[in-house]
Structure 1
Amino acid sequence: MKLVALVGSLQKESKSTKGLRVAAEAARQAGAEVIEWSLREQPLPIYDPESEKSGENVEAFIKAMSEADGFLIASPEYHNGPSGVLKNALDFVGYNQFAGKPVGLVAAAGGPIATNTLGQLATILRSLHGYVIPQQGSIGYGDAFNEDGSFQNPKMQERFEKIGTDVVALVKGLRG
Structure 2
Amino acid sequence: MSLYRLSVALLLSLGANDALATEPVSVPDGYRLQHYRAPTPDTLPGATVLDGAALQALIALHHPLLLDVMATNRVPDGKGGSRWVPAVPRRHLPGSVWLPNVGYGELEPVIEQYFLRQLARLTGGDLDRPLVFYCLRDCWMSWNAARRALKLGYRAVYWYPAGSDGWLEAGLPLVEAVPEPL
TM bracket (short chain) = 0.3 to 0.5
1 or 2, which has the higher helix percentage? 1
Q: Which structure: larger Rg?
A: 2
Q: Give the TM-score of the pair, scaled to structure 2.
A: 0.35
